């Protein structure tokens, strides 16, 4: 309880100390502290430096009757006392979602203690447990050494964690599929070298950081660490492996401190999509392109409402496009919902034009959004349009009973009207009648209010009118 029960001054010779108290100490373990006289009275007025006091670890002589626990009339002998070093890590928590970890094991690892000074909304672990202060929920409990955590913060915060150092060679269990891991080195290192043991064992699929950057050996992409290719202290990572495994970070002694990243180019035409804390990755191998874009062209992904959910610049190599799902902590729809179609387009830098991307085949997955999904394109092509080429695509599914998706392309800013008509030409439902910027769009149509039969979807834009037949079966 912090009561001082014995004290002595070190004089470079073996000395003795009597331990006593008015309270019953039987069986209580000794805690040792060292006061450093060199750090005392630093201001000449009796004030000690913050470095004047150290907690310490003692080693006991096991040939004596007693060791670390108090015994009335007992006798212990201390062989060595070593000051315990307290390590400090500062981690910048960004506003919004991110993945974080620490190489520190704090004395009080409870999330209430560790994150007490952070203005946050929620923390999630790999199993979906949460720390949600505003609701008084903490199903995570405490920090676990070697784990990563997904945090949504309300503002930029500087997190300081003090305690013992977690060994960088800590053995970590990685379950099959997705899990979060922490980064345990105190220096940044190349992601490809850090993950080499899993890659060499043919058990590594993909790794993502909190910003959606990836290390993906299958298609030769490494954009981890904001494009540096480096794993950084303070970052957490989502890792997917084929089978459960035991993982240990390699020692940094003989490893490169410079990453081997993929070449990256900034976005100019599209903004960066909102990080919602939940994403899926689409891989586009270089040899999947039927007509290869130019370096600097930009690829964008949209949800059914035409909202940007992902963007990346083509760098002349294989491409990893991260698309973001809906944020469950907000009321508005700010990303893709599970099962929603993903639409792709490309901005051609040299022509300052936008064209649709058509994926004819997938070698893995599809363009249907799944949380933590991984899809790989088999064949992709740029669908060439001229400035007057509006497109209305066949709805999917068709026939359908209640809901279907209608896709259309707008080559230039225009007012577009899309409506459903019956077989005699009466308008049944108007789906949209507004201005659209150039791009690919999707509309979800719910036909629960009309009877089964044959109808037509008509798109009107300027002098262009396009019509497709739809069939409703109930």
Structural domain includes residue 189: no
Residue 69 lies in a domain: yes
Q: Which of 383, 411, 432 is the last residue of a domain?
A: 383
- Do the Cβ atoms of 390 and 356 come closer than 8 Å? no
Question: What pLDDT score does 384 carry?
Answer: 66
One domain for residues 311 and 366: yes
Same domain for 291 and 375: yes
Q: Where is the domain boundary, 28, 63, 85?
A: 85
Residue 192 has phi, psi (to 5 degrees) of -65, -35
Q: Answer yes or no: do 378 and 283 share one domain.
A: yes
Q: Are residues 400 and 369 in the same domain?
A: no
Cα–Cα distance between 220 and 286 in angstroms, integer?
A: 10
Q: How far apart are the first and last CA of the chain?
A: 74
Indicate whether 208 belongs to any domain: no
Does the residue 334 lie in any domain? yes
326 and 369 fall within a common domain: yes
Among residues 383, 402, 428, the one where a domain terminates is: 383
Cα dist. 416→96, 123, 459 in Å? 35, 43, 7
Q: Are residues 119 and 68 in the same domain?
A: no
pLDDT at 387: 52
Domain count, the chain: 4
Both 17 and 75 in one domain: the answer is yes
CATH of residue 400: 2.60.40.1930
**CATH code of residue 365:** 2.60.40
For residues 57 and 118, membership in a common domain is answered with no
Residue carrying structure tokens 């001054």: 9
- Residue 442 counted as domain residue: yes
Same domain (yes/no): 376, 299: yes
Q: Is residue 336 part of a domain?
A: yes
Residues 285 and 356 in one domain: yes
> Is residue 207 a part of any domain in this protein?
no
Note whether residue 202 is domain-resident: no
What is the domain range of residue 160? 88-165
Same domain? 160 vs 95: yes
Residues 420 and 374 in one domain: no
pLDDT tens by residue, the chain, 474 residues: 678 889 998 888 888 999 987 778 888 899 998 888 887 777 777 777 777 778 888 999 999 999 999 998 999 999 998 887 788 999 999 999 999 999 999 999 999 999 998 999 999 999 999 999 999 999 999 999 999 999 999 999 999 999 999 999 999 999 999 999 999 999 999 999 999 999 999 999 999 999 999 999 999 999 998 888 999 999 999 999 999 999 999 998 766 555 566 777 889 999 999 999 999 999 999 999 999 999 999 999 998 777 899 999 999 999 999 999 999 888 888 899 999 999 999 999 998 888 889 999 999 999 999 999 999 999 999 986 555 678 898 888 889 999 999 999 898 899 999 999 998 889 999 999 999 998 889 999 999 999 999 999 999 998 888 999 999 998
Q: How far is CA 470 from CA 234, 393, 424, 455, in A?
A: 53, 11, 14, 5
Bridge partners (DSSP) of residue 408 are: 392, 441
- Interval 320-375: pLDDT, tens: 999 999 998 888 888 999 999 999 999 999 988 888 899 999 999 999 999 999 99
Whole-number Cα distances in Å, 171 to 182, 220, 357, 443: 12, 27, 44, 49
């Amino acid at each position: 309880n912090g009561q001082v029960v014995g004290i002595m001054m070190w004089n470079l010779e073996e000395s003795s100390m009597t331990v006593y108290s008015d309270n019953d100490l039987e069986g209580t373990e000794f805690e040792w502290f060292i006061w450093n006289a060199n750090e005392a009275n630093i201001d000449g007025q009796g004030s000690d430096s913050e470095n004047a006091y150290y907690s310490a670890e003692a080693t006991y002589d096991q040939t004596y009757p007693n060791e670390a626990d108090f015994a009335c009339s007992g006798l212990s002998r201390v062989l060595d006392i070593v000051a315990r070093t307290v390590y400090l890590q500062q981690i910048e928590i960004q506003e919004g979602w991110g993945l974080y970890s620490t190489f520190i094991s704090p004395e009080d690892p409870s999330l209430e203690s560790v994150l007490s000074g952070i203005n946050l909304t929620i923390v999630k672990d790999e199993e979906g447990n949460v720390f949600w202060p505003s609701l008084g929920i903490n199903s995570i409990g405490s920090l676990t050494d070697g784990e990563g955590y997904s945090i949504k913060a309300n503002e930029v915060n500087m997190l300081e964690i003090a305690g013992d150092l977690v060994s960088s060679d800590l053995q970590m269990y990685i379950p099959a599929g997705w899990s979060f891991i922490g980064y345990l080195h105190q220096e940044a290192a190349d992601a490809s070298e850090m993950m080499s043991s899993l890659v060499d064992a043919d058990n590594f699929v993909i790794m993502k950081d909190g910003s959606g950057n990836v290390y993906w050996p299958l298609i030769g992409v490494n954009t981890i660490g904001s494009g540096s290719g480096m794993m950084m202290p303070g970052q957490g990572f989502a890792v997917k492996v084929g089978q459960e495994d035991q993982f240990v970070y390699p020692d940094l002694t003989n490893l490169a401190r410079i990453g081997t990243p993929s070449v990256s180019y900034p976005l100019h035409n599209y903004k960066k999509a909102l990080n919602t804390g939940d994403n899926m990755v689409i891989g586009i191998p270089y040899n999947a392109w039927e007509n290869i874009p130019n370096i600097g062209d930009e690829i964008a992904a949209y949800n059914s409402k035409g909202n940007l959910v992902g963007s990346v610049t083509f760098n002349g190599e294989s491409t990893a496009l991260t698309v973001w799902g809906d944020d469950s902590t907000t009321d508005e729809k700010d990303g893709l919902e599970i099962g929603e179609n993903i639409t792709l387009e490309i901005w051609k830098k040299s022509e300052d034009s936008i064209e649709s991307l058509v994926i004819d085949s997938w070698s893995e997955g599809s363009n249907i959004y799944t949380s933590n999904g991984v899809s790989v394109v088999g064949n992709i092509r740029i669908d060439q349009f001229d400035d007057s080429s509006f497109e209305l695509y066949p709805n999917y599914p068709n026939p359908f009973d209640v809901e279907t998706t209608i896709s259309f392309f707008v080559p230039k800013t225009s007012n577009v009207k899309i409506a459903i008509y019956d077989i005699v030409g009466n308008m049944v439902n108007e789906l949209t009648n507004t201005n659209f910027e150039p791009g690919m769009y999707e509309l979800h149509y719910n036909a629960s209010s009309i009877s089964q039969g044959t109808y037509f979807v008509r798109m009107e834009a300027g002098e262009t009118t396009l019509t497709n037949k739809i069939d409703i079966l109930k």
